[in-house]
Amino acid sequence: MPKPVIEVEKLAKSFGDNAVLKDITEQVNPGQVIVVIGPSGGGKSTFLRCLNLLETPTSGKVAFEGHDLTTMDTKSVNSLREKMGMVFQGFNLFPNMTVLENIKLAPMKVKHADDASATKQAHELLQRVGLDDHADAFPDSLSGGQAQRVAIARALAMNPEVMLFDEPTSALDPEMVGEVLNVMQELAKDGMTMVVVTHEMGFAKSVGDRIWFMADGYIQENSTPEKFFANPETDRAKDFLSKILM
Partner 1 sequence: MKKKIGLLLAMLAALVMMVGVFGNPTSAQAADSSLAKIQKKGVLVMGTSPDYPPYEFQATVKGKSAVVGMDVKIGEKVAKDLGVKLKIKSMSFDSLLVALQTGKVDMIISGMNPTPARRKNVDFTHTYYKGGYEIVINKTDKGKYKNKDSFGGGTLGAQTGTTQYNAAKKQTKNTKVKGMTSQSDLILALQSHKLDGVAMEKPSAEAYVSNNKQLAAIPSNFSMSSSATSSAIAFRKGSTSLVNKVNQTVDQIKKENLVKKDYLPAAGKYLKTNTVNTSMGHYWKAFLTGIEYTLIITVCSVFFGFIIGVLLALARLGKGNFLKSLLRWIATAYVEFIRGTPMMVQVMFVYFGLGLFVNLPALTSGIIAISLNSGAYVAEYIRGGINSVDIGQTEAARSLGMSNGETMRFVVLPQALKNIWPSLGNEFITLIKDSSIVSIIGVTELIYQSNIVRSDTYRGVAPIVVIMVLYFILTFTASRILNYFERKMQHA
The residue ranges that bind partner 1 (CB under 8 A) are 52, 54, 74-75, 78-79, 81-82, 84-86, 88, 90, 92-96, 105-106, 109-110, 138, 140-141, 151, 154-155, 158, 164
CB of 100 to partner 1, least distance (A): 14
**Cα 45 from Cα 39, distance rounded (Å):** 11
Is the distance from CB of 69 to CB of 77 less than 8 angstroms? yes
CB of 104 to partner 1, least distance (A): 11
Neighbouring CB atoms inside 10 A of 79's CB total 11
Nearer to partner 1, 184 or 237 (CB): 184
**48-60 b/e (C-beta count within 10 Å ≥ 16 → b):** bbbbbbebebeeb
Nearer to partner 1, 72 or 106 (CB): 106
CB of 111 to partner 1, least distance (A): 8
Rounded to 5 degrees, φ, ψ at 135 are -55, -40
Nearer to partner 1, 5 or 215 (CB): 5
CB of 139 to partner 1, least distance (A): 8
CB of 208 to partner 1, least distance (A): 22
Nearer to partner 1, 187 or 211 (CB): 187
Nearer to partner 1, 142 or 237 (CB): 142
CB of 106 to partner 1, least distance (A): 4
Nearer to partner 1, 19 or 54 (CB): 54
**161-199 b/e (C-beta count within 10 Å ≥ 16 → b):** bbbbbbbbbeebeeebbebbbebbeebbeeebbbbbbbe
